[in-house]
Amino acid sequence: MSAETLQAFVVFYNKSKYMARPVRFNLIEKDTSDRGINQVMMPEGHIGEGFFATSLDKVVGLARKNSMWPLPFATSCCGIEFMATMGSHYDLSRFGSERVGFSPRQCDLLMVMGTIAKKMAPVLRQVYLQMAEPRWVMAVGACASSGGIFDTYSVLQGIDQVIPVDVYVPGCPPRPEAIIDGVLKIQDLVQDESLRRRNGDQYKALLEGYGIQ
Amino acid sequence: MSTHYDTIREILSRQFGDRILAWEFPYGMLSFTIQPEFNLKALTLLYDDPDLGFQFLTDITGVHYPEREGQELAVVYHLHNLAKNVRIRMKIYVPVAKPDVYTATGLFSGANWMERETYDFFGINFIGHPDLRRVLNVDEMDYFPLRKEFPLEDQTRIDKDDEMFGR
């Protein structure tokens, strides 16, 4: 090894700290000045010495939003993506949704992932009816949203034909990032939902439109 | 054509004569067409005759030929002689206006669901079937989806722009 090469190596070694590999992330420091760390923000309210006062709906929204219990209704490949979403790499539990319930009566969020055949539609509807209010529904993937490529006599052309849907996630299948994005959209809805919405005329008319009392 | 196929052909011809309408040998598999009212007699002979021994029913299915006037619907039986590993195919043609066929459930218990499926998709009316109702499609379906006059796409959709789908 020549003196110059050794010199260059020592400079590189010192700059890149210990056993760091010479990849971009180690050599160029990431600029994080413009993006803070995302965390649950405090709602508007009055702060004093030892107390914090805000309105009830904000507290309820905050609690509901960050402790959603998803009910996975996975029938095909989108369900595999959901498994990745729940896994350690993407980890939906970072958003307070790690408690996947397999009982509709305890869950808040129905995640429909995959092709729903017309014969499956009454089953899906029953699962929805068994969920307690407030409940939200997410259609994950092209099939659940619109029937997808299965434009045929045996497949339901979107689950919104039998139950109301809050958020549609496009993709065939959507990547875990997209599913997480859908969950965040649901969280926005949950946070800002008025406590009276489920008793309102508009919501009743919506359910009436689906023949749900 | 192997000698065994010759034997099969001879036995069937002796029994049914010109009621067998056609013999075919597509892709090395012996097939024959018989008058529809003799389907059960032919199946029974194929089952009982010691030289034939077709005692396993592989499949029953249907085919729709809209251009064949008076014999639009075909019912195809696939049979297997497990002991000699020989397969045979039997076809019958019935008019779409009156698709009546005798059931094979008396001979093969496995024919029950196969005939229900054939009824489900083609509307073949199997006379004597113990429980002829749909098996795969929803009970509310009011047509037979694999008949050619019904388009494959779901006809209940109203949100599709024909121009966007090249129609």
Q: For residue B150, give the H/E element and its range.
A: none
B24 - beta bridge partners? B31
The closest of A114, A121, A111 to A76, measured between CA atoms, is A114
What is the rounded distance in angstroms from the CA atom of residue B30 to the CA atom of residue B155?
A: 40
Say what the pLDDT of residue B4 is.
80
User: In this complex, which of B141, B145, B154 lies closest to A147 when CB atoms are compared?
Assistant: B154
Instruction: Give the 3-state secondary structure of residue A2.
Output: coil
For residue B163, pLDDT over 90 is answered with no
The residue of B154, B161, B167 whose CB has the most chain A CBs within 10 angstroms, and thus the best one to mutate to test that interface, is B154
Say what the pLDDT of residue B153 is.
76
Percent of chain B that is helix, strand, coil (3-state, to 5): 30, 25, 45
The closest of A94, A72, A69, A99 to A83, measured between CA atoms, is A72
What A7-10 contacts at long range (C-beta under 8 Å, 24+ apart), as own/partner pairs, is none
**Sign (positive/negative) of CA torsion A180, A184, A189, A191?**
positive
Residues of chain B found within 8 Å of residue A148, distances taken between Cβ atoms: none
**One pLDDT digit (tens) per residue for chain A, 213 residues:** 577 766 666 666 666 555 555 566 566 676 666 666 666 677 888 888 999 999 998 899 999 999 999 999 999 999 999 999 999 999 998 888 888 888 999 999 999 999 999 999 999 999 999 999 899 999 999 999 988 888 888 999 889 999 999 999 999 999 999 999 999 999 999 998 888 888 889 999 999 989 887
The closest of B51, B49, B97 to B71, measured between CA atoms, is B97
Say what the pLDDT of residue A135 is.
93
Contact at 8 Å (CB) between A147 and B154? yes
Say what the pLDDT of residue A17 is.
55
Contact at 8 Å (CB) between A116 and A143? yes
CA distance B18 to chain A (A): 41
CB atoms B137 and A118 under 8 Å: yes
Q: Does B164 touch chain A (CB under 8 A)?
A: no
Average pLDDT (B114-126) is 94
**More confident call, B145 vs B165:** B145
Confidence of residue B1 (pLDDT cuts 50, 70, 90): very low
Query: What pLDDT digit, counting tens, does each position of B104-113 carry?
Result: 999 999 999 9
CA distance B64 to chain A (A): 17
CB atoms A157 and B145 under 8 Å: no
User: In this complex, which of A119, A154, A157 lies closest to B156 when CB atoms are compared?
Assistant: A157
Please enumerate in sequence order all residues whose Cβ is within 8 A of that of B152, keeping only pairs 6 or more positions apart, or say none: A151, A152, A153
Say what the pLDDT of residue A45 is.
87
**More confident call, B41 vs A23:** B41
For residue B122, pLDDT over 90 is answered with yes
Q: Does A125 touch chain B (CB under 8 A)?
A: no
CA distance B105 to chain A (A): 26
Q: Does B148 touch chain A (CB under 8 A)?
A: no
* Residue B31, number of CB atoms within 10 A of its CB: 17
CB atoms A119 and B137 under 8 Å: yes
- 110-139 in chain B: CB under 8 A from chain A: 136-138
